[in-house]
Amino acid sequence: MKDFNSKSRISATIEYAALGTVSIDQLTQALWEDVKALQDFYGVRFVTGAKLIIPSTNEYGHPMLIKHPDGRVVRRYDTHYYRPACLDYKL
């Protein structure tokens, strides 16, 4: 069994390059369907340290900076979704 605290984690990479340039709504739908497939078809129930990299573009595929409303460039966004589902927590 792998040590999940090591850098050699067991993981799956889902590639979206074949989709080309899509709207964020289309990406949301693709992500949802793929996550559900991991759960329903492959039996994935929990994840640790997941990361989503979003290469932001305009509708023509040209790179665009992601900017905060105050003008700062955003390169890293930590989720505000905090609901631990881990079985280690007792609610």
| Per-residue model confidence as pLDDT tens digits over 6-33 | 556 688 899 999 999 999 999 999 999 9
Q: Identify whether the C-beta of residue 74 lies closer than 8 Å to the C-beta of residue 66.
A: yes
Neighbouring C-beta atoms of residue 36, cutoff 10 Å = 10
48, pLDDT greater than 80: yes
First to last CA, the chain: 29
pTM of the model: 0.71
